[in-house]
Copies of this chain bind each other. A is one copy, B any other.
Amino acid sequence: MAAVFEALAAPRRREILRLVWDRELSAGDIRRANPDVSFGAVSQHLRVLEKAGLVARREEGRFRYYAARRRQLGLLGRWLETTWDAALSDLKTLAEADEAAAKTSRHGRRGKPRVA
């Protein structure tokens, strides 16, 4: 359990886990999705996730494919999913409110955008 929480404490690793949640990606794919970080860093994060049992690794030629071990995560996995979904629908709600406001005023929003 300790390893699981330690692994999920880092935002970068949560992002990686989410990235491989419903598709298998190679280490390079994951690097490409995180261009602001070095390949070495990604590789290190993957090792932490793997040791925590959060992702599975499959070797194929010179590629290493990673995928979330959703089955073994059980309730924790489902909690993650609902949390991610909630965050998404919050964004959706904001966007819709924005849309409605723009329509009402018949002008676009001014001032600071609501979402950074």
Q: Which residues of A contact B (CB under 8 A)?
A: 1-2, 5-6, 8-9, 11, 14, 74-76, 78-79, 82-83, 87
Contact = CB atoms under 8 A, between A and B. Distances in A.
A37 B1 CA distance: 22
Contacts of A75: 75-76, 78-79, 82
B9 A5 contact: yes
Contact of A79 (B9, B76, B82, B87): B76
A5 B1 contact: no
15 contacts: A1-B14, A1-B83, A2-B14, A5-B5, A5-B8, A5-B14, A6-B9, A8-B9, A74-B79, A75-B75, A75-B76, A75-B79, A76-B76, A76-B79, A79-B79
